[in-house]
Amino acid sequence: MAKEQFTAFWLGYRPSGPGKAPPLQATPDYIDVLVLAFSNIFPGNTTCEGFLQKSHTADELHAGIASLRQSNPNTKILLSIQGTPQPPVGWNTGITDPQAFGGWLGYIIDTWNLDGFDVDNEDLDSFPGQQFVDAVIGMRKAMPQAIITLDTYKFDRDKEVIKELAPYLTSINTIAYFLDYDDMTSLVEQYATVIDHAKISIGVKSAEVGPISQGTSVDDTAKLCTFEPSQGSKLGMTLWDLSEDITSVTGKPDGTWTRTIHEHLP
């Protein structure tokens, strides 16, 4: 059994079933943290789960989560939250009442039987600042025991807020899938200067390497599994994503990236 953590995303907006993405219930039991994508920030310090339900009804998703609780009792289940293009509301400026937002997510965590949330702040219209920091701290205050992770790939943009949020975050995922091995490991070393190395999970993508697909090669994925920052051991690996680790997307056998991480993660 691997000591390091295996995190993987599952996309509610991709159809699942025979010849398609694997259904939620088919998540391997060696996945330590499963992240459902996506919920969206909505006006009024709330979220909307409509995109998560684009290809699966709420009842189907609830049934899938309930099934996983039975078959994979040790797997933690998170919901990833990103900004909304229409109406335009994002992480950097969209949360006006952190206490209300934290309270809303407390309701969501109970309603959906979750263990926490993944913060996917890829808003490009502004830099994350105090308003974003306050929003995440509001989440932590409302949910002291919840898992709260942060996705990041722009170190210069995010370094100051990560440094401030480090005590409140469970971990971060470096989602710079498009970088090669050397650049990815250099990026991890940078992040280890602002957050504990044991809170860093290295993100890879199950897709062909290229400027459009932005995939991580299988060879680099295997090497990244065994890489450790100079300061000490990393948290583990993060896969984007289980739903697209299929032949019709990658050109390789179903589950190639998933198995590679499972087989190489220390």
The model's pLDDT over 45-81, given as tens digits with 9 standing for 90+, comes to 999 999 999 999 999 999 999 999 999 999 999 999 9
Q: What number is the average pLDDT over the span 182-210? A: 96
Range of the domain at 129: 5-264
Tell me what percent of the residues of the chain surpass a pLDDT of 70.
99
In the chain, % of residues over pLDDT 90: 92
Q: Choose among 164, 165, 173, 222: nearest CA to 201.
A: 173
pLDDT digits (tens, 9 = 90+) for 129-165: 999 999 999 999 999 999 999 999 999 999 999 999 9
Is residue 124 very low, low, confident or very high in pLDDT (cuts 50, 70, 90)?
confident
Residue 189, domain CATH: 3.20.20.80
- Extract the tokens encoding 184: 């990815």
Q: How many domains does the structure of the chain reveal?
A: 1
3-state secondary structure (DSSP) of residue 46:
strand
Mean pLDDT of 87-110: 96
Q: Is the pLDDT of residue 87 over 80?
A: yes
User: How far is residue 42's CA from residue 153's CA, in Å, rounded to a whole number?
Assistant: 24
Confidence tier at 126 by pLDDT (50, 70, 90):
confident
Give ∠ CA 201-260-119 in degrees, rounded to 5: 30
Computed over every residue of the chain, the mean pLDDT equals 96
Query: What's the confidence (pLDDT) of residue 1?
Result: 59
The string over 228-255, giving b where at least 16 C-beta atoms fall within 10 Å of a residue's C-beta and e elsewhere, is ebeeeebbbbbbbbbbbbbeebbebeeb
